[in-house]
Amino acid sequence: MQTTSHTNPSVPRLLRLPDVLKRVGLSRAQVYKLIAQDQFPKQIKIGQKVSAWDSYAIDNWIASLIRGGSL
């Protein structure tokens, strides 16, 4: 069975907002509030009106919460 980059967590990906929201279980408003408070990874501009998040940054943020970090 061949593994593609979009299913392999060890391969960095750019995640769009709907994928980020599914991954972290927060609302859009919560994510942007946390970004403004420097408590969530900032998005990367990949186009004039398009942003995405580094999958590693999101995974590290989740891991820090699991290790005892707080929002």
Sorted by where each begins, the domain ranges of the chain are 14-66
Q: How far is CA 19 from CA 1, 5, 13, 58, 68, in A?
A: 24, 15, 11, 10, 24
What phi, psi does 20 have (nearest 5°)? -65, -45
Enter the pTM of the model: 0.80
The gap from C-alpha 66 to its chain's centroid, in whole angstroms, comes to 15
Per-residue pLDDT tens digits for 24-65: 999 999 999 999 999 999 999 999 999 999 999 999 999 999
- Is 67 a residue whose pLDDT tops 60? yes
Cα torsion 21, 26, 29, 30: sign: negative
**Residues 6+ away with beta carbon under 8 Å from 62:** 23, 24
